[in-house]
Amino acid sequence: MKIIVCVKQVPDTKGGVKFKADGTLDRGAMLTIMNPDDKAGLEAALRLKDQYGAEVTVVTMGLPKAADVLREALAMGADKGVLVTDRVLGGADTWATSQTLAGAIRNLDYDLIITGRQAIDGDTAQVGPQISEHLNIPVISYAQEIKIEGDSVVVKRQYDDRYHMLKAKMPCLVTALSELNEPRYMTPGGIFDACKDDAPITTWGRADLKDVLDENLGLKGSPTQIAKASDKVKKGAGEKVVLETPDESADYIVAKLAEKFVI
């Protein structure tokens, strides 16, 4: 079985957010990590590899330094990494990103594609389903459990007050929730091998993407455009009181509730 996992290098939200003048993110200026949902997706792929035997290829699109997440994935146990990087791919929205990744994936053999549910920077949860549409394969999003049954994948998928057990024929795409599992650590030997010059990481540019039009790539190929981006204006703090006794505290709240006609 061949599994492709799409991972994204995302800014560690603890490190703050920086923008370029055009309103797009300044990814070069922030600390980065492997997106948590993607890491769960990778772990799911590695468990399928442990259980059934599979070749796991990890694909990322980003700046050259995004190779770091591929090395991390190799050190966890993935077999190969593909970095898709090119100036013309920058500033992409989800449409252009999914076109790019689909173009890269068309060069690879696969039975199953796993992506994270959503990335913690964009928070859209769109790229996985969009890739599946471009490749014309079934999609099951928000997977909580993934099993293989013959030529099909069986997934537990949560809805608001229920879950569905869904069965899709391979090839198909599944998006993973970070609640799916607890990702394994990198192994020391794995880290050593992943950092060697001959680590199995391939770099592709625009020319290596299959069946993708220029007009669908990068900032120019993005139907959505940013009109404005800003740090959130925080709601101002109101009154804060430190009172001597719990009775006074309760009195204070009750007085406020009465003032606002709540009681």
Partner 1 sequence: MALEEYKGVFIFAQQVDNEISNIAFELLGKGKDLAADLGTEVTAVLVGSGVKGLADQLAEYGADRVIVVDDPELKEYRTEPYTHAIASVIDKFKPDVFLIGATAIGRDLGPRVCARVHTGLTADCTSLDIGDFPLVAIPGREQKHNQLLMTRPAFGGNTIATIACPDFRPQMATVRPGVMQKKEKVAGAKAVVEEFNPGFTPNANYVEILEIVKEVSDVVDIQDAKILVSGGRGVGSAENFKLLEDLAAAIGGEVSCSRAVVDSGWKPKELQVGQTGKTVRPHVYFAIGISGAIQHVAGMEESDIIIAINKDETAPIFDVADYGVVGDLNKIVPLLTKQILAAKASKAEN
Q: Are strands 32-34 and 9-11 parallel, antiparallel or unpaired?
A: antiparallel
Q: What is the pattern of x (binds partner 1, CB under 8 A) and - over residues 1-20?
A: ----------x-x--xx---
Distance (Å) of CA 254 to CA 239, 244, 257, 261: 15, 16, 5, 10
| 219 near partner 1, rule: CB under 8 A | no
Q: Does 101 bind partner 1 (CB under 8 A)?
A: no
The string of DSSP codes covering 248-262 is HHHHHHHHHHHHTT-
Cβ distance to partner 1 smaller for residue 17 or 88: 17
Closest to partner 1 by CB, 13 vs 187, is: 13
Binding residues for partner 1 restricted to 58-87, rule: CB under 8 A = none
Q: CA nearest 149: which of 173, 166, 128?
A: 166
CA–CA gap between residue 83 and residue 86 (Å, rounded): 10
Please answer whether residues 170 and 113 qualify as being in contact, where contact means their C-beta atoms are separated by less than 8 angstroms.
no
Question: Is residue 203 a contact point for partner 1 (CB under 8 A)?
Answer: no
Closest by CA to 82, choosing from 57, 63, 111, 64, is 57
Q: Which stretch binds partner 1 (CB under 8 A): 41-49, 104-112, 184-192, 243-251?
A: 243-251
User: Count of residues binding partner 1 (CB under 8 A)?
Assistant: 78
Which stretch, 40-48, 70-78, 80-88, 134-142, contacts partner 1 (CB under 8 A)? Answer: 134-142
Q: Answer yes or no whether residue 136 interacts with partner 1 by CB under 8 A.
A: yes
* Binder among 46, 74, 93, 190 for partner 1 (CB under 8 A): 93
Interaction of residue 223 with partner 1, rule CB under 8 A: yes
168 binds partner 1 (CB under 8 A): yes
Q: Which two tokens stand for residue 32?
A: 């980065």
